[in-house]
Each structure stands twice: as C-alpha cells, then as structure tokens.
C-alpha cells in the first residue's frame, strides 16, 4: 500500500518542548456529506478554493483524512499522542484500519525515538485509528509496542470500549479493538485509567473533552508561555474551525461534542496555542483566531 513520506513530518518547538508529527498511512477519501450529514453543500463550495487539494477531493466530494501521531519531548518525558491504526489489525469491513502494513515504527525511529524510549502513550479516545499501535503482533500474540510506557486513557472510555467488546450486535472490527489494542496493555499493568484532569508533568496536562466519545480527552501543552493543544477527533476537518457547530456522524453526543469543540477553539484563540489535530492535511496544524463569526484558521505557523 502507499504511504506518506517521513520527509513531510512537521516539527515544532514550544519553549523547551519539541513536537514532531509521525505519519502512518496515506490519506484516505471519506465522503464529506456522509460523514457530516448536517454540512451545507454551499459551505463546502464556498471554501473549496482552499480546501482542495490538500483537505478535499472535489471530484469525489470527499474530505481527505490523514493519519499521524504526535511525538512530544519535554525535559522530563517522551510522550506519544495517539497511535494511529497499527499493523496487521483485524478490522473486517473497515478499510482504513484493516490488515495494514505501514512503516510507522520506522518513521518513529527516523525521528530519533525507539519504542522503548516512550514514557507515556496518551490515548485521546479508543477508536481504531487512534489506538492501533498500542500493541504489535509478536509470535502470534498482541503485546504492548511501548513496553516502558504508561498508557493514559479515560476510565469512562476504557469501560465503554470493554463493554462494546462484549456486544454481539456490534461489527466484529469494533469488538476487536479492546481485545487486540487495549486489553493487552491492561493485562501488562501498563494502563493508567484517568478520572478528570491529569498533569503528566509541568508541560503536559490532559483534560476531559467529551462528545465525540464520552471519554474523549484533549492534551494541553505549555512551556515558557508558548503552547499547543492536541485535540484527537474533536475536529476532523479544518472547516470545523469556522463551522464549529457541525458535528460528524461518528460523534456519540453531538451537542456535547459541539460544546467541547467550542471550548477547545476558544482556548486556542485565547492562549495563542497551536491546534494539533490528528487528521488534518498539510500543514497539519493551525493557529486559531477569534472572528466576527466565532473562529478562523490561521495557517501561518512558520517559526
């Protein structure tokens, strides 16, 4: 399969903290109006001139979903935010995640980090494209990819994922997530189930941001007055910055997702923090500024 080149990996510095984007697989087309049933066609048409070709494919009327993790290095810790789809994961019926063979770990090593160097894995939520590299296949068993890391996830999210694994009415790919990508780190004693906010160190703090899932979290980074916010799937497309009221079909609680998205964007604008999503196309990150309609993108991230 195709893949994104590591040459496109973005790197950022916030005070004494560095952040690097670790790409996994090639971007995937997702029908825009199926994913966002409430998205007005005129909104997409009015923004197509900048959405295409990096964020939108006009011919298929599809947004482009990119897949990457963020590698954070503070003075104290090395942290990986979300772990993409993983390799060899059985996800029948879910093409974006099924039986992949990507160079993710090679890309991580290219950034100067081995799996053993990771101190924390932060899971914004437990959807298949955010937890896949939590584990790897070794001698026919799923084992933690990052053996020295503590895996941080919401207790609410963990418990919901565990219940889903037992629900025979759910698709097999959905039931597999807990068994192959979460349970092995729990059984290894590496999972840390969080309730409320949690400070990993003096630079990196995790906060609840429910709505997309009920246990979704975001992570706020701050160093020497500079900062960023890792938002997982609180947003899927840059259009949701200005049109923050629009939720995706994958959001469990749409009104709550809208509330969390507004709070996220307000925090970015107020603190001048860089927004670091998991699915945006180049330049993969954006500042957010207040506007007459609420919020606007500021792609000027040079320096």
Alpha helices in 196-253 (DSSP H): 239-242
Three-class DSSP category at 217: strand
> d(Cα 232, Cα 215) in Å, to the nearest integer?
12
pLDDT, tens digit only, all 303 positions of the chain: 444 544 445 899 999 999 999 999 999 999 999 999 999 999 999 999 999 999 999 999 999 999 999 999 999 999 999 999 999 999 999 999 999 999 999 999 999 999 999 999 999 999 999 999 999 999 999 999 999 999 999 999 999 999 999 999 999 999 999 999 999 999 999 999 999 999 999 999 999 999 999 999 999 999 999 999 999 999 999 999 999 999 999 999 999 999 999 999 999 999 999 999 999 999 999 999 998 879 999 998 754
The residue assigned the tokens 């007055």 is: 225
The residue assigned the tokens 């070709």 is: 53
What does the pLDDT read at residue 1? Answer: 41
Burial class of 55 by CB neighbour count within 10 A (0 to 12, 13 to 18, 19+): buried
| Per-residue H/E/C for 68-118 | EEEEEECCCCEEEECCCCCCCCCCCCCCCCCCCCCCHHHHHHHCCCCHHHC
- Domains delineated in the chain: 6-298 (3.60.15.10)
What does the pLDDT read at residue 6? Answer: 47
Structure tokens at 97: 């995640």
| Cα→Cα distances 77→85, 119, 121, 143, 303, Å | 24, 6, 11, 22, 23
Contact (Cβ atoms closer than 8 angstroms) between residue 69 and residue 83: yes
> d(Cα 275, Cα 28) in Å, to the nearest integer?
21
Contact (Cβ atoms closer than 8 angstroms) between residue 188 and residue 150: no
**What residues does 137 pair with on adjacent strands?**
142
Contacts of residue 37, Cβ cutoff 8 Å, sequence gap at least 6: 249
Give CA 153 to chain center in angstroms. Answer: 13
Contact (Cβ atoms closer than 8 angstroms) between residue 288 and residue 298: yes
What does the pLDDT read at residue 301? Answer: 72
Q: Is this structure's pTM higher than 0.85?
A: yes
Structure tokens at 145: 């990819």
Sign of CA dihedral 140, 145, 148, 150: negative
What does the pLDDT read at residue 300? Answer: 85
What does the pLDDT read at residue 2? Answer: 44
């Amino acid at each position: 399969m195709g893949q994104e080149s590591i040459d496109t990996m973005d790197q950022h510095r916030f005070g004494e903290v560095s952040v690097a984007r670790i790409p996994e697989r090639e971007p995937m087309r997702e029908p825009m109006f199926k994913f966002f049933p409430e998205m007005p066609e005129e909104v997409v048409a009015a923004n197509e001139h900048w959405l295409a070709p990096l964020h939108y494919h006009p011919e298929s009327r599809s947004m482009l979903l990119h897949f990457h993790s963020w590698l954070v290095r503070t003075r104290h810790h090395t942290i990986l935010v979300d772990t993409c789809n993983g390799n060899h994961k059985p996800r029948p019926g879910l093409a974006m995640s099924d039986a992949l063979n990507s160079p993710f770990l090679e890309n991580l090593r290219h950034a100067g980090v081995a799996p053993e160097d990771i101190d924390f894995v932060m899971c914004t939520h437990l959807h298949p494209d955010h937890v896949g590299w939590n584990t790897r296949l070794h001698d026919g068993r799923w084992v933690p990819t990052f053996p020295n890391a503590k895996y941080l996830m919401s207790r609410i999210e963990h418990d919901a994922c565990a219940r889903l694994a037992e629900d025979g009415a759910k698709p097999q790919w959905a039931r597999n997530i807990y068994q192959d990508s979460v349970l092995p780190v729990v059984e290894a004693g590496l999972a840390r189930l969080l309730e409320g906010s949690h400070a990993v160190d003096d630079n990196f703090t995790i906060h609840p941001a429910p709505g997309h899932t009920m246990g979704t979290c975001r992570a706020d980074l701050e160093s020497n007055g500079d900062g960023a916010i890792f938002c997982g799937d609180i947003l899927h497309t840059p259009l949701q910055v200005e049109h923050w009221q629009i939720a995706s079909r994958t959001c469990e609680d749409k009104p709550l997702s809208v509330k969390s998205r507004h709070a996220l964007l307000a925090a970015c604008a107020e603190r001048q923090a860089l927004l670091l999503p998991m699915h945006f196309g180049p330049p993969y990150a954006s500042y957010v500024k207040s506007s007459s309609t609420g919020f606007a993108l500021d792609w000027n991230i040079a320096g």
